[in-house]
Structure 1
Amino acid sequence: MRSRHLSTVIRRAPAEVAAYFGNPDNLPNWAAGLTNAAVRRDGADLVVPTPMGDWRMHFAEPNDFGVLDHWVTDHTGTVTYNPVRVIAHPEGAEVIFTLRQRDMTDGQFEQDAAAIAADLETLRAVLEAHDR
């Protein structure tokens, strides 16, 4: 199984980036690869409408370490673990998303990697767009 680390540097404090990334209300603003609709909460889980049906997300407990790991359960019931870290960078913060190939073809893996890279770029643009 291949893994790929996708990252972007954002000129914001790591805590600010982690708080924005981890807030489910912000997902539609930057995670077009996942959803462009509002998410709803169901206990500790988030229910995310996608073109393929509702997906569920569960984030790691909030923490001071920039760990934003989350588990996504798709419409088929398949659970995917997504490790994500926000770490300090000389220019602000670096968001690192680990993608694992698992049951994807090489083409699907590349397509997923491109979607995640685009989402991270959107996250960077949104957070750097104006002073917070």
Structure 2
Amino acid sequence: MEAMSTPTASRHVSTVIRCAPAEVYAYAADPDHLPAWAAGLAQAEVTREGDTLLVDSPMGRVTVRFVPANDLGVLDHDVTLPSGTTVTNPVRVLAHPEGAEVVFTVRQIELSDDEFENDVRTVAADLGRLRSILEEAAVTPG
């Protein structure tokens, strides 16, 4: 009998943002906003090459491809790491009674357990920054 490999670990990280789901989606889907809130992915201005984004990340230079714009709140994106491995990151902006909920699935690919836990914390911090930016903008007049 062939031994089964250990499945890739996944963790869902989410935050509720007191803004309309369409507003959250529009902001988060704009690559120009990534450095402001997604420090785990983009540490500097994003360069575009067609539908591909070139990003200086904490992991080194990576490429990112988002799914096409949609009205379903899907922000899935593939990140190709410097090693050449591509990681698919499922992200959803969902309607929530208090506004919107953003759910990001973190996968343990090419990461030790400690690195995976750090990645989960980084995503949680990124989603917290996204919440702060959008909620502060919502209460700021003009």
Using structure 1 for the length normalisation, give the TM-score: 0.95
1:86 paired residue number: 93
Correspondence for 1:121 among 128, 135, 139:
128
- From 99, 102, 113, the equivalent of 2:106 is 99
Structure with bigger RCO (C-alpha 8 Å, 6+ apart): 1
Q: Which amino acid aligns with 1:28?
A: P
The partner residue of 1:72 within 57, 74, 79 is: 79
Gap regions ≥5 residues in structure 2:
1-7
**Which runs of 5 or more residues in structure 1 are unaligned?**
none
CA contact (8 A) 2:41 2:58 kept: no
C-alpha displacement at 1:36, in angstroms?
2.4
Q: How far, CA to CA, are the matches of 1:100 and 1:70 in structure 2?
A: 13
Q: Which has the larger radius of gyration?
A: 2
How far is the alpha carbon of 1:50 from its aligned partner? Answer: 2.6
Q: Is contact 2:54–2:63 with CA below 8 Å preserved after alignment?
A: yes
* Percent of paired sites with the same residue: 56
Distance 1:52 1:30 in 2: 17
Task: Name segments (4+ residues, structure 1) moved above 3 Å.
Answer: none
1-structure distance, mates of 2:37, 2:47: 16
1:57 matched residue in structure 2: 64
CA distance in 1: counterparts of 2:74 and 2:59, whole angstroms: 28
Equivalenced residue count is 132
- TM-score, L = length of structure 2: 0.88
CA distance, structure 2, for counterparts of residue 43 and residue 94 of structure 1:
29
**Distance (Å, rounded) in 2 between the aligned partners of 1:116 and 1:57:** 16
CA distance in 1, matches of 2:55, 2:120: 20
Distance 1:52 1:98, change over 3 A: closer
